[in-house]
Amino acid sequence: GAGVSQSPSNKVTEKGKDVELRCDPISGHTALYWYRQSLGQGLEFLIYFQGNSAPDKSGLPSDRFSAERTGGSVSTLTIQRTQQEDSAVYLCASSLLGQNSYNEQFFGPGTRLTVL
């Protein structure tokens, strides 16, 4: 594919429902990142994957948030029992990690989540 893709592009859900957001990274990229972009809050780091493992989960805001990555490729971010404060744009990025320290992240278009 040409770049990082995310689905759905928009999601409207009711408070208390679970949602699943998907990210398809650039083929061959070993690192994958999830961020949350809230109005007026900037870019908030959520979780990072190296391959299928997540060495840093410190950014997940609560235990309602979880993420997984399978096959070193697709990742899903799941939010259980959504709350109105979860409304935001969720961004995914991937990067090619190697011995070269240059590590540009390529971002997807984001999923806009609205919790009513």
Partner 1 sequence: AQRVTQPEKLLSVFKGAPVELKCNYSYSGSPELFWYVQYSRQRLQLLLRHISRESIKGFTADLNKGETSFHLKKPFAQEEDSAMYYCALRGNNDMRFGAGTRLTVKP
Check if the beta carbon of residue 97 is closer than 8 Å to that of residue 55.
no
The answer to whether 116 contacts partner 1 (rule: CB under 8 A) is no
Q: Does 35 bind partner 1 (CB under 8 A)?
A: yes
For CA atoms 78, 51, 106, 60, the dihedral sign is positive
Give me the least distance between CB of 113 and partner 1, in Å please. Answer: 17
Among 7, 13, 29, 31, binds partner 1 (CB under 8 A): 31
Using CB under 8 A as the binding rule, whether residue 14 contacts partner 1 is answered as no
Binding mask 57-96 for partner 1 (x = CB under 8 A): ----------------------------------x-x---
Q: Is 55 in the site for partner 1 (CB under 8 A)?
A: yes
Q: Are 5 and 108 in contact (CB under 8 A)?
A: yes
Q: Minimum distance from CB of 98 to partner 1 (Å)?
A: 11
Assign 8 to helix, strand or coil.
Answer: coil
Q: What are the φ and ψ backbone dihedral angles of 109, each rounded to 5 degrees?
A: -75, -15
**Of 80 and 106, which CB lies nearer to partner 1 in the complex structure?**
106
The whole-angstrom separation of Cα 102 and Cα 81 is 38
